[in-house]
Amino acid sequence: MDIRTQPLAAAPAPVLRADYAPPVWQVPEIALEFDLDPARTQVTGRLSVVRAGDGPLRLDGDGLTADSVMVDGVAADWAMDGDQLVVDLPGNAHLVEIRVTIAPEANTQLMGLYASDGLLCTQCEAEGFRRIMFFPDRPDVLARYAVRLVADRARYPVLLSNGDHVDSGTLPDGRHYADWRDPFPKPSYLFALVAGDLAVNRDSFVTGSGKVVELGIWVREHDLGRTGHAMHALKTAMAWDERVYGREYDLGVFNIVAVSDFNFGAMENKGLNIFNSRYVLADPDTATDQDYDAVATVVAHEYFHNWSGNRVTCRDWFQLSLKEGFTVFRDQQYSADQGSAAVKRIEDVRVLRAAQFPEDGGPLAHPIRPDSYIEISNFYTATIYNKGAEVIRMMHTMLGEAAFRAGSDLYFDRHDGTAATCEDFVAAMEDASGHDLGLFRLWYRQAGTPRVHAALDFDAPGGRARLRLQQVVPATPGQPDKQAMPMPLRIALFGEVSGTKLLPEQTVMLDGAHQEILFEGIGERPVLSINRGFSAPVTIESDRSAADLAFLSAHDDDPFARYEAMQQLMVDTLVDDVATGNADLAPVIAAVKATLADPALEPAFVAEAVLLPFEAYLGDQMPVVDPQAVTRAWDRLRGALGAELIADWRGVYAGMAAGGNSLEAAGRGMRRLRGVALGYIVASGAADGPALAKAQYEAAGTMTDRQTALTALAMTASAERDAAFAAFHARYADNALVLDKWFQTQALAPRSDTIDVVERLARHPDFVMTNPNRLRSLVGAFAVNQRAFHDPSGRGYRFLGDMVVAIDRINPQTAAKLVPPLGRWSRFDAARGAMMRAELERVLGTEGLSKDVFEQLSKSLG
Ligand code: ARG
Ligand code: ZN
């Protein structure tokens, strides 16, 4: 039989939310013993199982074979049904002991127990525990864990697991052991262990009720000096969660471990968070200000999961947004409280628009509570996380701070120690506030970004303004017909002449498809400010003129709305220019100039406000994306802003140098604006642009200044560019996280030859296919670089397709995340669309594809 012509044995079957059934057996206790070795780790599991329904005991496994199975001390009859181990048990309570052998160093998927950089560590969410031990690997089976780790003491001096350390000691042959006990019942996805030669940054935190918590951040010895920021963030987050949500930490220990090979950001394992090292390590020489923020946000996020995720977990994986949406909302609130709330909101919306809106408008669109999946790993998406957070935020806006807090308290009280559903959360909010969230629940069921059309008429003699709102929720795969969804829209009217707010801001509930709101006593032509603070995750369509938008960009007193007006003005201008090639750029140039000159604005805000929208976002505004036309318009506006305001940029560039290397918010804001100014100076084509950037590169006292100089140089074809990239590589040759920046900056460069550079970098000795950070920094970054990826030759598509095939053999989860850019084929012209589809089909024809990649490809082809 010729296996090359064999299609996928059978398309993997989807799991349906509607099929949920409670577990037939519960496992209140489990004792696990690990005899750790990278090539051959022996695991013994002792499961106390208790009957909860009719049927045999079915335990999930993935690539496991049992060495032995005993029931109540006696060798048992058992069978495999696919990957499940099945044992018929006569009674209602038994002790089942299972032994398996696994090979962590052969585990390149980075799910289950694996080796990274000399460490042994685990990742179990969502379904990695079944690669370690046979178990009912579902989040509604909560067990108390007692863990013994045994390993060679020289190679693995540090042995960590969840909960409290209860004992350790010496064994023959240079081996030692450590015992850990977690008093809180938890689902298997929260199990973790780490073994290795690690150094620790120790600190402590005293909780509101006076309990001392030992904190530890565990890293390689040479990274110890880079853990201070993460520790600071952790302590700040612990205090914040007590103050804002009334949530105290519940164990005597909280450990964080940094590992270099990790499939995503970090993992909230009970008492033992495991992190991608890029979200732990930071010092001024190697981390940008943005990296500092990302570290603090992720540390807080994982810490907050201790309540929203661990104390109250998810009944099934369809409820994933219950913990992720809520926890992202909590980390957004936390970060907003640490610095400028306005700038934080702008950044969050940028992320939503760059990552979630395209998902919601494409073949992989799904509601924040999906109805089915083939591989749950594919559902750790911007929709579940970021749109999920927006849905929680809308409830916060509708209920108000106090009622929202009462709802959250009720939710934690009611469901502590259990596995809950999204519906439980909404019901708690409803019960605590008395607010009817009946139709609001549609946000959990319906995918797609609603479009809200807003038209404002002014009746001057009557002194009345009438706002007409109209809502459309677009069709998405499997959901052709949608219902209008209730949403809070924060609205204000500004007087065109007076420049002031005519009425206090109102929060209008748009409850149906159409709505009219009448404003009385309006004495001058009003300008509409709508969806202020981005109160609803929707697209607003209005007929506001360039003049109105420029006016709002100068006068709106809601910083987000002010930013948004400028963005909309830029988008309208660029879309016009894409169509005509000669749009009037003057209003944007004047508005940017005014923003730069406004002394009342903080530099960090100005930096956000004057940046052009991403090219990909512009593409999203067009019925058919023409990447070359977008690039041409974008370059024209960027060049014109640079050239016409060159004196302003130079003034800002010089003035912002006063921020120096300070890590305080003010210094960081100034560095950010200075970097934006440098970008515009280089984009202006000024003869000294590359030299100026190179001088900044050489003088830089922080990674932020070094990185912005490098980013500016990456746009140019210059000797300075080549020299700076070579110097950067040489300087950081032994720091993988910084080398990621070297790859990423080149992959994101807005240049026509980026595709050549990327193909060359894929053959670079530092391009390591087994490290997800490296893959994301080259391949992931390239695939979101619209002008490079959509090169008319189709080379970009082929490069990505080849990468998906190659990476899938190593790490299916990471490979699957690279598929979505190809799935956007229907948005492009016929020639590109055909090439993209052909690439998806070619990859789908590859033998032995993972179900991760299979699901993404088959859904992308529609
Ligand atoms: N719960 C983790 C977090 O958001 C992420 C786990 C991601 N798992 C995955 N299979 N992608 O904090
Ligand atoms: Zn999370």
Q: What are 404-437's pLDDT values in tens digits?
A: 999 999 999 999 999 999 999 999 999 999 999 9
Task: Show Cβ contacts of residue 382 under 8 Å, excluding neighbours closer than 6 positions.
Answer: 351, 352, 355, 356, 359
Q: Is residue 717 one of the residues assigned to a domain?
A: no
Whether ligand 1 lies within 6 angstroms of the CB of 264 is answered as yes
Q: Give the type of residue at 665.
A: A
Token duo for residue 31: 């004792």
Whether ligand 1 lies within 6 angstroms of the CB of 268 is answered as yes
DSSP state at residue 307: T
Q: Which of 262, 280, 310 is the last residue of a domain?
A: 310
463 and 487 belong to one structural domain: yes
Is the confidence at residue 2, as pLDDT, over 60?
A: no
Nearest ligand 1 atom to alpha carbon 305? 12
- Please name which of 167, 44, 19 lies closest in space to residue 96, comparing C-alpha atoms: 44
593 and 511 belong to one structural domain: no
Ligand nearest to the backbone CA of 279: 1
pLDDT per residue as tens digits for the range 107-123: 999 999 999 999 999 99
DSSP state at residue 353: I
- Please name which of 202, 158, 191 lies closest in space to residue 31, comparing C-alpha atoms: 191
Q: Is residue 706 one of the residues assigned to a domain?
A: no
Residue-level pLDDT at 3: 40
* Helices within 128-227 (DSSP H only): none
- Please name which of 852, 511, 609, 143 lies closest in space to residue 860, comparing C-alpha atoms: 852
Token duo for residue 541: 């369509």
Distances in Å between the Cα of 257 and the Cα atoms of 120, 197, 254, 279, 819 are 11, 12, 10, 11, 30
484 touches 473 (CB < 8 A): yes
Q: How confident is the model over 594-604, as a mean pLDDT?
A: 97
d(CA 209, CA 228): 25
On whether the pTM is more than 0.90, the answer is yes
Q: Give the type of residue at 321.
A: S
Our answer to whether residue 302 is catalytic in this structure is yes
Q: Is residue 16 one of the residues assigned to a domain?
A: no
* Helices within 188-319 (DSSP H only): 228-245, 289-304
Secondary element (H or E) of residue 481: none
Q: Is residue 89 one of the residues assigned to a domain?
A: yes
Distances in Å between the Cα of 249 and the Cα atoms of 186, 215, 275, 305, 310 are 16, 11, 19, 11, 11
Least-confidence region, from 7-21, 611-625, 775-789: 7-21
Instruction: Give the ipTM of the model, two decimals please.
Output: 0.98
CATH number of the domain bearing residue 130? 2.60.40.1730
Q: Give the type of residue at 73.
A: G
pLDDT per residue as tens digits for the range 155-174: 999 999 999 999 999 999 99
Q: What is the DSSP string of 627-655?
A: HHHHHHHHHHHHHHHHHHTHHHHHHHHHH
Q: How confident is the model over 700-708, as a mean pLDDT?
A: 98
Task: Show Cβ contacts of residue 485 under 8 Å, excluding neighbours closer than 6 positions.
Answer: 439, 440, 442, 443, 446, 450, 471, 473
Task: Show Cβ contacts of residue 348 under 8 Å, excluding neighbours closer than 6 positions.
Answer: 332, 386, 389
**Protein residue closest via CA to atom 9 of ligand 1:** 377
491 and 426 belong to one structural domain: no
Rg (CA), the chain: 28
Half-sphere exposure for 353 (CA within 13 Å, toward CB): 22
DSSP state at residue 279: G
Whether ligand 1 lies within 6 angstroms of the CB of 331 is answered as no
- Please name which of 272, 252, 253 lies closest in space to residue 162, comparing C-alpha atoms: 272
Task: Show Cβ contacts of residue 713 under 8 Å, excluding neighbours closer than 6 positions.
Answer: 682, 690, 693, 694, 697, 720, 721, 724, 725
Strands (E), 306-393: 313-314, 372-373
Q: Is residue 588 one of the residues assigned to a domain?
A: yes
d(CA 203, CA 420): 33
Task: Show Cβ contacts of residue 148 under 8 Å, excluding neighbours closer than 6 positions.
Answer: 31, 32, 33, 34, 177, 178, 179, 180
CATH number of the domain bearing residue 458? 2.60.40.1840
Q: Is residue 149 one of the residues assigned to a domain?
A: yes
Half-sphere exposure for 334 (CA within 13 Å, toward CB): 30
Ligand nearest to the backbone CA of 268: 1
Ligand 1: residue of 189, 259, 264, 328 to mutate (most ligand atoms within 8 A of CB) is 264
d(CA 637, CA 613): 11
306 and 359 belong to one structural domain: no
Whether ligand 1 lies within 6 angstroms of the CB of 299 is answered as no
Q: Is residue 348 one of the residues assigned to a domain?
A: yes
Residue-level pLDDT at 6: 43
Ligand nearest to the backbone CA of 373: 1
Token duo for residue 589: 């140039």
Domain that holds residue 297: 199-310
Token duo for residue 413: 């009280």
Query: How many domains would you assign to the chain?
Result: 6
Q: How confident is the model over 192-207, as a mean pLDDT?
A: 98
Q: In angstroms, what is the span from residue 122 Cα to ligand 1's centroid?
A: 13
Whether ligand 1 lies within 6 angstroms of the CB of 375 is answered as no
Token duo for residue 597: 């000159």
Q: How confident is the model over 465-480, as a mean pLDDT?
A: 98
Ligand 1: residue of 125, 323, 376 to mutate (most ligand atoms within 8 A of CB) is 125
Averaged confidence pLDDT in the chain:
97
Going by pLDDT thresholds of 50, 70 and 90, the confidence category of residue 9 is: low
Task: Show Cβ contacts of residue 13 under 8 Å, excluding neighbours closer than 6 positions.
Answer: 374
CATH number of the domain bearing residue 263? 3.30.2010.30
Q: Which of 310, 342, 368 is the last residue of a domain?
A: 310
DSSP state at residue 661: T
416 and 537 belong to one structural domain: no
Percent of the chain with pLDDT over 90: 98
d(CA 811, CA 808): 5
- Please name which of 629, 627, 599, 597 lies closest in space to residue 610, comparing C-alpha atoms: 597
d(CA 796, CA 756): 10
d(CA 164, CA 147): 10
Instruction: Give the number of other CB atoms < 10 A from CB of residue 90.
Output: 7
Q: In angstroms, what is the span from residue 381 Cα to ligand 1's centroid?
A: 10
550 and 492 belong to one structural domain: no
d(CA 62, CA 813): 15
Secondary element (H or E) of residue 219: strand 212-219
In sequence order, what are the beta bridge partners of 314? 420
533 and 550 belong to one structural domain: no
CA dihedral 360, 365, 370, 371 (to 10 degrees): 140
- Please name which of 368, 361, 410, 407 lies closest in space to residue 390, comparing C-alpha atoms: 368
Q: In angstroms, what is the span from residue 305 Cα to ligand 2's centroid?
A: 7
pLDDT per residue as tens digits for the range 726-783: 999 999 999 999 999 999 999 999 999 999 999 999 999 999 999 999 999 999 999 9
Residue-level pLDDT at 579: 97
- For strands 57-59 and 84-87, give the pairing: antiparallel
pLDDT per residue as tens digits for the range 46-59: 999 999 999 999 99
In sequence order, what are the beta bridge partners of 49? 94
Backbone angles phi, psi at 54, to 5 degrees: -95, 135
Q: Give the type of residue at 334.
A: Y
467 and 509 belong to one structural domain: yes
Q: How confident is the model over 172-183, as a mean pLDDT?
A: 98
Q: Is the peptide bond before 126 cis (omega within 30 degrees of 0)?
A: yes
61 and 190 belong to one structural domain: yes
Q: Which of 97, 302, 430, 615 is catalytic?
A: 302
pLDDT per residue as tens digits for the range 300-326: 999 999 999 999 999 999 999 999 999
Residue with tokens 């799904």: 366
CA torsion sign, 627 to 628 to 629 to 631? positive
176 and 32 belong to one structural domain: yes
Q: In angstroms, what is the span from residue 325 Cα to ligand 1's centroid?
A: 12
341 and 397 belong to one structural domain: yes
Q: Is residue 713 one of the residues assigned to a domain?
A: no
In sequence order, what are the beta bridge partners of 459? 464
- Please name which of 447, 508, 453 lies closest in space to residue 474, comparing C-alpha atoms: 447
Is the confidence at residue 360, as pLDDT, over 50?
A: yes
Q: Give the type of residue at 307.
A: W
* Helices within 688-811 (DSSP H only): 689-699, 703-714, 719-731, 736-747, 754-761, 772-775, 781-783, 786-789, 795-808
Is the confidence at residue 5, as pLDDT, over 50?
A: no
Residue-level pLDDT at 778: 98
- Please name which of 690, 660, 849 lies closest in space to residue 7, comparing C-alpha atoms: 849
Token duo for residue 693: 């950037």
Q: Exposed, middle or buried: residue 481 (CB in 10 Å: 0-12, 13-18, 19+)?
A: exposed
Q: Which of 163, 179, 197 is the last residue of a domain?
A: 197
Residue-level pLDDT at 7: 46
Is the confidence at residue 611, as pLDDT, over 50?
A: yes
Q: In angstroms, what is the span from residue 263 Cα to ligand 1's centroid?
A: 9
Whether ligand 1 lies within 6 angstroms of the CB of 266 is answered as yes
Is the confidence at residue 4, as pLDDT, over 50?
A: no
Task: Show Cβ contacts of residue 218 under 8 Å, excluding neighbours closer than 6 positions.
Answer: 158, 160, 194, 198, 199, 200, 255, 256, 257, 258
Q: In angstroms, what is the span from residue 565 Cα to ligand 1's centroid?
A: 35
CATH number of the domain bearing residue 632? 1.25.50.10
Going by pLDDT thresholds of 50, 70 and 90, the confidence category of residue 377 is: very high
Whether ligand 1 lies within 6 angstroms of the CB of 855 is answered as no
Tally the residues of the chain. 862
Nearest ligand 1 atom to alpha carbon 324? 4
Q: In angstroms, what is the span from residue 537 Cα to ligand 2's centroid?
A: 20
Going by pLDDT thresholds of 50, 70 and 90, the confidence category of residue 10 is: confident
Whether ligand 1 lies within 6 angstroms of the CB of 110 is answered as no
In sequence order, what are the beta bridge partners of 44? 33, 99
164 and 270 belong to one structural domain: no
pLDDT per residue as tens digits for the range 498-553: 999 999 999 999 999 999 999 999 999 999 999 999 999 999 999 999 999 999 99
